[in-house]
Amino acid sequence: MRIVSMVLLATVRRLEVRRAVNCRIKVPALKSQRSSGNKVLSSMTEGNSRVAICWLRNDLRYHDNEILLKANINADQVLPVYCYDPRHFKGTYHFNFPKTGSHRARFLLESVADFRNTLRDKGSDLVVRLGQPEQILPLLVKSLSARECHIVYQEEVTKEEKDVEIKLKENCRQLGVQIHSLWGLTLYHKSDLPFPVTRVPDTYTGFRKAVEAQSHVRAPVVMPERMKPLPPDVDVGQLPTLAQLGVKEQLIDQRTAFPFSGGESHGLGRLRQYLWETDNVFIYKETRNGLLGSDYSTKFSPWLAHGCLSPRHIHAEVHRYEKERQANQSTYWVLFEMIWRDYFKFVCMKFGDRVFYPSGIMGKKICWKKDHLMFQKWKEGRTGMPFVDANMRELQETGWMSNRGRQNVASFLVKDMGLDWRLGAEWFESQLLDHDVCSNYGNWNYAAGIGNDPRENRKFNMVKQAFDYDPKGDFVRCWVPELAGLKEAMIHTPWKLTGSQLSSAGVVLGDTYPNPILVAPEWDRHQHKGVQRKGPAFKGPRQRGIDFYFKSPPKM
């Protein structure tokens, strides 16, 4: 019986590979970009010593990875490569913040190490190099004795990444290397959109309704149980340390709402936990505006940003959950927010570099201030506005901030302080575990009123937001411990308290905690509401608040 079972299993695996080869939806044909001919990657199946180099960037996973699958089908030998690009560890474009801060650098190291372990389990390995990919990959090609060599990679969207792709093609042209790009960043494939990218709607609602009605999400590809071998005598390299990347190590703060590690295995584990082990997905819409703890939101975004989780796999799992257990607005909401992620990718493709301009996508001229002393107070959590300070300290200490926090601190920076939105965008780029270029800059455009479908003069009332979403002050008390002695929601407006109230809590404004750098006139309208409110913060109409990454809800 064991022999029969093994034969049946082998037969099933052969059928899966054939189905993957013949199914156009699962494995779309590669577009060849070779300068000296138009051979497609399938030509690698002819003869021996056809090598496919899989250049990995933000696709650090084995499941639903079309680059690995296509190379494995068509090549004799497959060489997965990840390059730690030194440019990613230098300064941001305008303000020279660390481009990849300590928290995200650690998450990246964990993700690469986890991916290497997975590939080794599949009979392969991950070649790791420190250097610029457009220089490293041609050197790898020269070191191989292959008769024919191909480079396969996942296409990116924004300028810095596209410039590297262009330089790589130029450097490989004289080597006779065929370059192939695949699309795998989004939930909806760009070829399946019901309009060309140049005509992506200027509002999210228009985009969402169109793709939901006229497009489809492709099924995740079926991956082989084993990968083709690496070429012989390849030095796979050592994984670098943070110090070797020029990044100062920062201890993990135990208060973090993201107590997870980087890597595909951990991302898949979180997906399994959030859906199948806890059913938290079923109440996601009611808890998503939370501030404390690991389960108020999915926390999928850091793994999505690094490609450790496939958006199509999440989509498939949510639909399976809806079929096998139950569907409701919360299960839909997870997918609704993933469509927002898609939208920003395609918006950046449509508008290009305009998303980085001071005037943004709309080309709206606004005189932004660049007061670096004021900005320093914002980024360090010393504005004297406790709700803002708590969120900014959480970001700096953990690399995480809730969506509710992100929208508030962004509004405070650009609407209350009047500072250049790019200061905030680049600081987020530096600090966030889940930094995604398109989502980050697209949303800062939106917050600054220069992006897609902006609400004119939209501004968040910091005091009202604090009372609504931290009614007992627990979040502020966690991250601003010098105010912990203030009771309940009194903690949100210390400048309104009497001297005796402050002294009994051990608070001295201007000494133990800063005086507010500003007091907006609208704050007075809500100064007493937080004390009166009872119960949880996430019930009723306040759920219609706009998220920083994912905006207003559809009518259902």
Q: Which residues are annotated as a binding site for FAD?
A: 284, 297-301, 337-344, 434-436
Tokens of 244: 């070797």
Dist CA 432 CA 443 (whole Å): 14
Helix, strand, coil percentages (3-state) for the chain, rounded to 5, are 50, 5, 45
Calculate helix-pair angle for 264-272, 311-324, nearest 10 degrees: 20
Return binding residues: 284, 297-301, 337-344, 434-436
Burial of 496 (0-12, 13-18, 19+ CB in 10 A): middle
Tokens of 48: 């021996």
Instruction: Give the span between the Cα atoms of 369 and 293, in whole angstroms.
Output: 35
E runs forming strands in 485-542:
none
Residue reference for tokens 């959030």 = 274
- Residue 174's contacts (CB-CB under 8 Å, 6 or more residues apart) are none
Burial class of residue 36 (count of CB atoms within 10 Å of its CB; 0-12, 13-18, 19+): exposed
Question: Are 423 and 370 spatial neighbours (Cβ–Cβ below 8 Å)?
Answer: yes
- CA 386, distance to chain mean position in Å, is 27
Neighbours of 19 (CB within 10 A): 12
Retrieve residue 506's tokens: 């051990």
Tokens of 381: 């959590």
- Residue type for position 110: E
Q: Which of 490, 397, 416 is nearest to 457 (CA)?
A: 416
Token pair listed for 447: 């917050």
